[in-house]
Amino acid sequence: MNKKNTVLVGLILILLAVPVFSQEQTDSGELSNKPVIISRLDGKIELDGRSDEEAWKDIHSLPVVMQSPVFGAPPSEKTEVFLGYNDDFFYVAGRLYDSEPDKIQAPSKKRDSMNPSNDWFGIIIDTFNDNENALGFFTTPAGLRFDATVYNDAQGEFPVNLSWNTFWDVATFRNEEGWFVEMRIPFSSLRFQDDKGNVVMGLISWRYIARKNEVNIFPAISQKWGNWAGWKPSKAQDIVLEEVSGRKPFQIAPNAIGGFGRSYDLNDAETEYIRSDEVLGDIGLDVKVGLASNLTLDVTFNTDFAQVEADDQQVNLTRFSLFFPEKRIFFQERSSTFDFNLGGPNTLFYSRRIGIYDGQEVPIYGGVRLVGRLGAWDLGILDMQTAPIEDLPSENFGVVRIRRRIFNPYSYMGGIVASRIGVDGTYNIAFGLDGIFRVFGDDYLSFNLAQTLETEEENRLFSLDSSKLKLTWERRTLEGLGYNLDFSRAGESYNPGMGFEMREDYMRFGNRILYGWIPDEEARLLNHQIFMDGYAFVRNSDGQFESVEIGPGWVFNTKSGYGGQVGVKYYFEDVLEEFDFSDDVSVPTGRYSFYGLTGFYSTPYGNYLHTGFNFDAGSFYDGWRVSLGVTPRWNISSSLEVQGMYQINWVEFPDRGETFLAHIARLRVLTMLSTKLTISALLQYNSAADAVIANIRLRFNPREGNDLYLVYNEGINIDRYRELPVLPRISGRAVMIKYTYTFNLK
C-alpha cells in the first residue's frame, strides 16, 4: 500500500467517526421501571404444568405485548404469565393458549437444545439486578429444560453461555386449548443479594410461536436492539420479593470414569508409529458450597472433562491462531465475572489455557473457584493446578477478578490479576483495569488497560512495551444511527500467558457504523440496516499498515423469518513472513491489495427444515478465493434431528501454479428417546488435515446432578502416505464411561 492509499484509508476511517459525535442523543426506548411486587404463594403447588391450584387464584397475569413482528401489538394468541414464590422456590406459570393446537411445534427433547423450530416459553432473571448478567430458564411443549447465562448485557454475536446448568424443575401440559407450563426454581440456584429480607431482581419473560416467527414479551422491549433484545438485563423489569432469605447450597458430586484408549506415537528414531493401549480408570470429586446467598465456592479434585463434545473443525485462511470456545462445565457458572475482553476473541483470561496444551489434554490435579458478590463488589477467584506433561511442567493458574457499579446502574469499573506459574520457576503474570460507562441513552464508553510480566523480560511497570490499551465508544441500537468505534494498542512484549491474543505489537482502529430502519406494520421487512465496516492494524515497529479491511453492506430480516446480508470488502495485507495454507501452498512476503464480496442468506429458523447459506469470493493476495457454505437442519420427528454443514474453500494462485482446496463437512445426528435420554453423533471431515473425527455421546440425565455418559471418540487418517513414516489408519481411539451423582446436603 503506497502512502497515498495509506492516507486515504486513514481519512475514510476518521470520516466514518465524525458523524457519531455530531448526532443528537437517541431515544433509549426505555419504559418506566417502577418495581413490581411479586406475591407470595399461599398453599401447596403440584408441579404438573396446569397452575390450577388455589395458590394461583389471586395472582395477576403480567401485561404481555408482541415484540415481533409488530412491536406493541396484542399477542396473536392469548398468553398469560404468572409469578410467585414461597420460602424455598421461585415459581413461574405460563398459560399459552393456541387457536390451532395441532400446529404447536415441539421437535426437540434434548437438555439445553436451543432449536428455534420449537415453541418456547421462559424467563430471564437478573438475580443481582446488575443490568449486565442474567440467568435464563426456558422450556418447550415437550418439557425439555434449557438454562443458560447471559453476559455483557446481551451484546455481541452470541452473548449466551449454554454450558451452564443448575438445579430446577419444569412440567408441561397440552390440551385442545394450547400448552401450559409450571417452573420451580430453588432459591439455592439463584444467587442474589437481599436487603433486610427484600430482594430486587430484573425479569424478562417471553413466548415464541415458531410457525408465526412471533415473540410476545414482558416488559415491552423494542426490537431496536436486535435479535438479542429480549435477553438484555438492562431492559428487564424490576421485581421485588419480600421476606426472602437466601439458601446456601451444599453439594458433593463424586464421579467415576473408566474406559479404553488407543494411541500411536513415533518411536525415538522417528521411523515408525508404535501402538499403545491403555485401560482408563479414575475417580474425581466436585464440591459446591454456598458461603452466603450471594457467594459460592466450587472445589474440584482430579478433574476430568471426558463428556465434553469435540471442537468443531475449522479451516484457517489467515496467518493467525484459531479461537475455540470453552465448553467445560466447571468454568461456566457466572463465567462472565472473569471476562476481560480486549476486542474480538482477545482476552486477558482464556480458561482453555488450563488443562489443554497444543490440542492435547493436560491432567488437572484440582482447583477452587469462588464467585458471587460481596457488598457492592462482584468477585471471582480461581486457582487450579495441572500435572506435568512432556516438556510442560506442572503449573498453577490463578485469577482474581473484582468489579463494582459506579455513577449509575449501567456503569462499572473493575480489575483483574491472572498468574501462570510453573514449578520450574517460569511465570507469566497479567493484571488490568477496565470500565464501562453509560454516557447517555444507548451510548456507552469503555476502556481496558492491561500489562503482562514474565520470565526473562525487563518487566518495567507501566511500560507501553508490555501493555495493551483498548477504548470503545458505541451506540447500542439497530434503529437510526448506531456505531461501535474502537481503538486498541498492544506493545511488543505484551503476552497474556493465561489469555488469547491473535496479533502482537500493533495499533488497531475500527469497527462499524450503521443506520437502521424498523418499517411499519404493513411492510414485509422486520428490520434492515446499511453499514460500513472497517478496521486497520498498524505495526508499532515501523508505523506501516499491516492489515486493512473496509467496505459497505446491507443486512435484513423479514417478518416471516428470512434473513440475509451482503457486503463488499477492500483488503490490504502487508506480509513480512511467508505463511502456509498447506505443505504446497503459501503466501510469500509482500504487500497485497484485493477485493471481495461476502454474504449469507437464511430461511426461517422456525421451520422444521431450515437452511443457511454463506459465501465469500473475490481476489485473494496474488490470486483469488471462493468460500461457500451450507448449514441445513432437519427436525425429522420429535425424536430425531439431523444437522449438517458443508464448506468448500478454493484458493488459486495462478501465477505461482498453486492451488489450495479444502473441504469441511460436519454431520450431527441427535436421537432423543426422552427428555432424560439422548444419543448424539458428530462426524467431521477435514480435507486440509486429511482426517475424519467421530464423537458419539449417550447421556442419561434422570435429574440434575445425576449424569451417565458413554462416549466414543475416534480419529481416522484419510491419506496415510502424506508423511513419512506412513501414518497409522487410526490416529486415536477412546471409549469412556463417566458417572456423576450429586448429593444435595442442604
pLDDT of residue 462: 85
pLDDT of residue 10: 43
Cell of 629: 457454505
Cell of 288: 459446591
In a domain, 175, yes or no: yes
29 has a pLDDT exceeding 50: no
In a domain, 74, yes or no: yes
98 has a pLDDT exceeding 70: yes
Judge whether 705 and 723 are in contact, CB under 8 Å.
Answer: no
pLDDT of residue 4: 41
In a domain, 607, yes or no: no
In a domain, 592, yes or no: no
Cell of 39: 406475591
DSSP 263-290: EEEE-TTSSSEEEEEEEEEEEEEEEEEE
Count of domains observed in the chain: 1
pLDDT of residue 194: 81
Cell of 73: 401489538
> Mean pLDDT of all residues in the chain?
89
725 has a pLDDT exceeding 50: yes
Strand duo 36-37 + 237-241: pairing: parallel
* CA-closest candidate to residue 50, choices 87, 2, 82: 82
Residue that has been written with the C-alpha cell 411479586 in this structure: 38
pTM for this prediction: 0.86
Cβ contacts of residue 731 below 8 Å, gap of 6+?
Answer: 264, 691, 715, 716, 717
Q: What is the mean pLDDT of residues 10-32?
A: 38
Cα–Cα distance for residue pair 190/281, rounded to 1 Å: 35
* CA-closest candidate to residue 179, choices 83, 101, 92, 82: 101
Q: Out of 54-63, 117-126, 578-587, which region has the weakest mean confidence (pLDDT)?
A: 578-587
CATH (domain of 102): 2.60.40.1190
pLDDT tens for each residue of 105-126: 999 999 988 899 999 999 999 9
In a domain, 90, yes or no: yes
Cα–Cα distance for residue pair 462/24, rounded to 1 Å: 37
> Quick count: other Cβ atoms within 10 Å of Cβ 99?
10
Q: Out of 220-224, 291-295, 669-673, which region has the weakest mean confidence (pLDDT)?
A: 291-295
Q: What is the mean pLDDT of residues 199-214?
A: 96
Beta bridge partners of 734: 261, 713
Q: What is the mean pLDDT of residues 312-334?
A: 68
Judge whether 431 and 417 are in contact, CB under 8 Å.
Answer: yes
692 has a pLDDT exceeding 70: yes
Residue that has been written with the C-alpha cell 436451543 in this structure: 114
Cα–Cα distance for residue pair 547/507, rounded to 1 Å: 11
**Greater pLDDT, 424 or 344:** 424
pLDDT of residue 294: 81
pLDDT of residue 14: 37
pLDDT of residue 330: 74
The phi-psi region of residue 614 (left if phi > 0; otherwise alpha if psi is between -120 and 50; otherwise beta) is: beta
pLDDT tens for each residue of 588-640: 999 999 999 999 999 999 999 999 999 999 999 999 999 999 999 999 998 99
18 has a pLDDT exceeding 60: no
Helix (H, G, I), strand (E, B) or coil at 576: coil
Cell of 235: 431492559
In a domain, 731, yes or no: no
315 has a pLDDT exceeding 70: no
386 has a pLDDT exceeding 70: yes
- If you ran DSSP here, which 8-state letter would residue 113 be given? -
In a domain, 318, yes or no: no
Cα–Cα distance for residue pair 722/505, rounded to 1 Å: 36
Q: What is the mean pLDDT of residues 55-80?
A: 95
Domain carrying residue 183: 31-241
pLDDT of residue 290: 87
In a domain, 311, yes or no: no
455 has a pLDDT exceeding 80: yes
Cell of 187: 432459591
**Greater pLDDT, 337 or 214:** 214
Helix (H, G, I), strand (E, B) or coil at 94: strand
Cβ contacts of residue 335 below 8 Å, gap of 6+?
Answer: 149, 151, 161, 164, 326, 351
Per-residue b or e along 427-442, where b marks 16 or more CB atoms closer than 10 Å to that residue's CB? ebbbbbebbbbbeebb
Q: What is the mean pLDDT of residues 390-410?
A: 92
pLDDT of residue 323: 64
